[in-house]
Each structure stands twice: as C-alpha cells, then as structure tokens.
Amino acid sequence: MLATSIQIAIKDLKVELRSKSTLNFMILFALLTTAIFSISVPASFVHRIAPALLWLVFLFVGINGYARAFLREVDEKTLDGLKMSAEAEAILFGKILYNLSIMLVIELILLPIFVALFDLEISNPLLFLVSVTLGNVGFVIVTSSMSVLVIKSKARELLLPVILFPLLFPIITSTISAISASIIAESYDVKGSLLLILIYSAVMLIVSSLTIGDAITE
C-alpha cells in the first residue's frame, strides 16, 4: 500500500508541476498575507502575536490549497479511475504525502520571509521549526482527511471550513503555544503541546483510514 501511496503522490506532484496552479496560488497568497500583516502590526506587539499571525497565514492558505488534492479528482472526473486502481486507504495516504510535499515547499519559502519581515529573534530555532512543521503535518492530515467527506457536495467550498475549524482548534492552539515558547523563551510545557498534536493527528489519521472507503464510494 505504501508503494501505491507514493505513486499517487508522485502523480499529483507531476500534475501540479505542469500546471503550478495550486502551488502558485498558495505561495502568492501566503506572501501577500504576510506582507499585509507585517505592515499592520506595531513592532512592540510583534513577538507576542507573531505565532498567531503565522498560523493565520498557514490556515488561510492550507484550507484553500490542501483540499484541492481531492477536489481536483472530482473536477477532472478522475476519481472513479483512481478508485479502481488503488485501495481507498492508499488514496488517502497518497494525497496526504502530496500535501506534505506542498507544505514543505510553502514552509521553505514563507518562514525565512516571515522571520525577516517581522524581525523576529527566535530564542530556540530548533523548537520553532519542529513546532511549525509538526503543527502543519497535523493540519495537512486533518484537512486532507476531512476534504474527502465533502468532495461530492455542491457547497463543498463553504462546507469544508465549517467542518475544519472545530477539528483544527486543538492543533492550532497547541502549535501557537509551542511557537510562542520558541520565540520568547516562555516557561511552558512544550512537550505536552507537541505530544497533543502527535496524538490528535494519529487519531484523525486512523479514523479517516477507517471511514474513507465509505466516503468515496457513496
């Protein structure tokens, strides 16, 4: 199943590299939002609210971008063929791997620019990178998993954020707390936050793998 998932992820990456529609949109939106935030926020408050602003950027970009992995299959009428050639779980994991690849590209481009524009002095760079990456991994898992539930809905663009925000709340709050601790060296139980993200993401992944078969066949 892993080999099939990797093949699906590679297939999606090749499609994206040809069109660059999703990646270009996500990068431009992320950079534009970051630039607007950097102009609007007073310098005296930057270190306190930068973690929340960073996650707002990832949230806006991710909800619009990561769901495209499944929605594109419906729009291009290729979902039925994909279901015939791979197990439902392999499709889910393949889409998650694809979105993780996109996420890494966004992170590599956005994080240096975000840190530079906000003139952030990060006390613990390793914790900062781990917190951002782990939070985004959880974000990708939840978004990819939940997008399956709405792929055939006519109001899917409106329905997906309504479903996602409550489910993402534990990941968002834990990640913001961990990022804050990495920036201003707060005395905070960072391990607890990171562990919560890991456990929550694992639970969502297990639940999604058990239900995706019914979700994509209905």
Residue 154 reports pLDDT greater than 90? no
Q: How buried is 154 (Cβ within 10 angstroms: 0-12 exposed, 13-18 middle, 19+ buried)?
A: exposed
pTM here is 0.89
Residue 188 reports pLDDT greater than 70? no
Can you tell me which residue has the tokens 């399956």?
A: 148
From the centroid of its chain, how far is CA 155?
21
Mean pLDDT to the nearest integer, 41-63: 85
- 175 vs 75, higher pLDDT: 175
Please tell me the total count of domains within the chain: 1
Average pLDDT score, the chain: 85
Mean pLDDT to the nearest integer, 181-201: 84
Mean pLDDT to the nearest integer, 35-39: 88
CA pair distance 79, 168, nearest whole angstrom = 26
What number of CA atoms fall less than 13 Å from residue 3's CA on the CB side? 1
pLDDT band at 186 (very low <50, low <70, confident <90, very high): low
Can you tell me which residue has the tokens 């906000």?
A: 118
Query: What is the extent of the structural domain holding 136?
Result: 2-217
User: What is the percentage of the chain residues whose pLDDT exceeds 90?
Assistant: 30
Predicted local distance difference test score (pLDDT) of residue 217:
65
pLDDT band at 112 (very low <50, low <70, confident <90, very high): very high
